Chains A and B, each alone.
Chain A
Amino acid sequence: MAQQQDIAVQPSLAARMKVDQLSWSWLGVMPFFIFALLFLIIPTGFLIVGGFQDADGHFTFANIANLFQPTILSAYWISIKVSAASAIGGAIIGFFLAYAGVIGDLPRWIRPTLMTFCGVASNFAGLPLAFAFLATLGRAGLVTAFLIKYFDFNIYSTGFNLLSFWGLALTYLYFQIPLMVLILTPALDGLKREWREASAILGASAWQYWRYIALPALWPAMLGTTLLLFANAFGAVATAYGLAGSSLNIVTILLYAQIRGDVLHDQNLGYALALGMILVTGISNAAYIWLRARGERGMR
């Protein structure tokens, strides 16, 4: 009898203890979730909802429709082009640099030096970076002057302008390339020496090794990092603002001007602008996750 009772009691007691423990455990992560709600989720959610409301709080698609006016559309387009150019350029150059550092069979000191340098350069963004490029490739910059003096070649006479699409992309590359190197290096470390040796034994050329073994193993990491670089450049404000003030027509500058002085004279259009940015970076990240999942399935 007593035994039976024991058995009957035990599970419920255990369950209660488990529930008890679980709720106490939850308490431990509450600060983090409250912080995330206050400073990440609610602010973002507020803007997303605001993008679908008019000034009186009624539901509307008008803000979204208003995004399709020529100035805003072209701002998005330039932002996307600059981000894509700097992301793809950064990914390609970064790949070769990381390759040289990891597999290039160079002296031992190269790799730690490269990594330290990339750590610094990937964090050297914003206004100081803009100043550095103005001092280097601006109209009175060192490289500009050097080319005129010794090669009689004025880059500004070719239509180049630091305050334009290519200038911006070139400047962004300064932090994009190192970021690619930093993220891709562990992936390159993951390429096993045995794979290369096995493919060499089976008579594969270097090209075949890269085409059929190394690149298929690497491409999720490469593509994923490229998308990360894209989002990184897309959200950058300070570098562009430092280069050209508010004269560049890219989304972040437009939004910055809107927040500062309400140039659009429409609060909710500002929300829609922000919503559009979240969509672009969100889609690129979702694509990354999807591609990575696909890539992992392909690896099995």
Chain B
Amino acid sequence: MKRAKLGPWLAIVFGMLYFVIPLIGTFEFSLRVRRGEYSFDAYRTVLTDPRFQSSFLYSTVLALATIVVGVLLVVPTAYWIQLRLPKLRPIVEFITLMPLVIPAIVLVFGYLRIYNSSSLLPLTGSEWSTNLLLTCSYVTLALPYMYRAVDTGLRAIDVRSLTEAAESLGAGWPTILFKVIFPNVRVAVLSGAFLTFAIVIGEFTMASLLDRPAFGPYLQLMGANRAYEPSALAIIAFVITWACMGLIQLLGRGPAAAAGKR
């Protein structure tokens, strides 16, 4: 029995080392600004950098916009597919998986060609429309994760009964969608939202090629020009990712624990 356990332990220890050592290395490196002693100078430099603040704010707002657009696009679609058009499910699922197949850089290349300032829909023509295009690009990137999360949430509830009950009480479609369906898939929507946030906040390729002042291009700029600040930024990014995933876990635990009690 004891011997059988050695292999799994080895795998776990190896995995933990592989994941933890780069984090320790990065953290240690980020403290090395002063010669001979550790300090948080790199963090101070980064956090007080106005470009950090503005790019981080920009990416946060963009991430929130992405979440709103993504949720408004995905929840009604997944609901409708479940309720009325189950035959379309394979097609919709295929489309939601396409962003995993087509690399982001290819997609953004296509956008730049189709939505340039001399096209029918010149989205890259002005600042606000480029922001809109970037938001839609991020909705596309997050589509596989958002759809999966919401679809799982919808499968867990009895969509048909809820709809019929609401209808028989005289509810219209907006009421059903926003007051009945949304609250019931809240946890799923939120976990999709946090995942979206984690993906969008540091995204580089699309923001850089659409030339927007997002956090990703700022990271690249720092990486190319500074020695210790990039490590501090990597630690900050890691903390954000960790926070998003932790919140998802926390959310997932709530209803699971409730179901266990029943």
Using a CB–CB cutoff of 8 Å, the interface residues on chain A facing chain B are 25-26, 28-29, 31-32, 35-36, 38-40, 42-44, 46-47, 50, 93, 96-97, 99-101, 103-106, 110, 112, 114, 116-117, 119-121, 123-124, 126-137, 140-143, 173-174, 177-178, 228, 231-232, 234-235, 237-238, 241-242, 245, 252, 255-256, 259-260, 270, 274, 277-278, 281-282, 285
Contact = CB atoms under 8 A, between A and B. Distances in A.
B24 A46 contact: no
- Give the dominant DSSP class at A's interface: helix
B85 interface: yes
Given A100-B8, A106-B8, A252-B103, A116 B246 contact: yes
A29 B237 CA distance: 36
Residue of A25, A47, A131, A237 with highest tally of chain B CB at under 10 A = A131
A230 to B, nearest CB: 11
A281 B137 CA distance: 19
Interface of B is mostly: helix
Nearest to A39: B140
Contact of A25 (B9, B80, B95, B233): B80
A97 B15 contact: yes
A123 B241 contact: yes
B78 to A, nearest CB: 9
B68 interface: no
A29 B5 contact: no
A237 B104 contact: yes
B95 A130 contact: no
A132 B26 contact: yes
21 contacts: A28-B76, A29-B92, A32-B92, A35-B139, A36-B95, A40-B95, A43-B111, A44-B98, A47-B109, A104-B7, A104-B8, A106-B9, A116-B246, A123-B195, A124-B237, A132-B23, A141-B25, A142-B28, A178-B19, A235-B102, A255-B105
Interface string B103-128: 11111111111100000000000000
Interface residue tally on B, bucketed by range: 35 or more
Contacts of A141: 25, 29
A119 B245 contact: yes
A5 B14 CA distance: 79
B103 A281 contact: yes
Contact of B245 (A116, A128, A131, A241): A116
Given A127-B202, A235-B104, 19 more contacts: A28-B76, A28-B80, A28-B84, A39-B139, A39-B140, A42-B110, A47-B110, A103-B8, A105-B5, A110-B12, A117-B16, A123-B198, A123-B199, A128-B234, A235-B103, A237-B105, A241-B204, A256-B205, A285-B101
A97 B92 CA distance: 33
Given A46-B113, A123-B198, A128-B202, A278 B106 contact: yes
B76 A281 contact: no
Nearest to A100: B8
Residue among B7, B29, B98, B109 having the largest count of chain A Cβ atoms under 10 Å? B109
Interface stretch (B33-41, B47-55, B181-189, B218-226): B218-226
Q: Which of B4, B21, B22, B195 has the most A CB atoms < 10 Å from its CB?
A: B22
| 9 interchain residue pairs of minimum CB distance | A43-B110, A235-B103, A104-B8, A136-B25, A100-B8, A142-B25, A135-B29, A128-B237, A238-B204
B169 interface: no
Interface in B176-233: 195, 198-199, 202-205, 209, 216, 219-220, 223-224, 230-231, 233
A128 B233 contact: yes
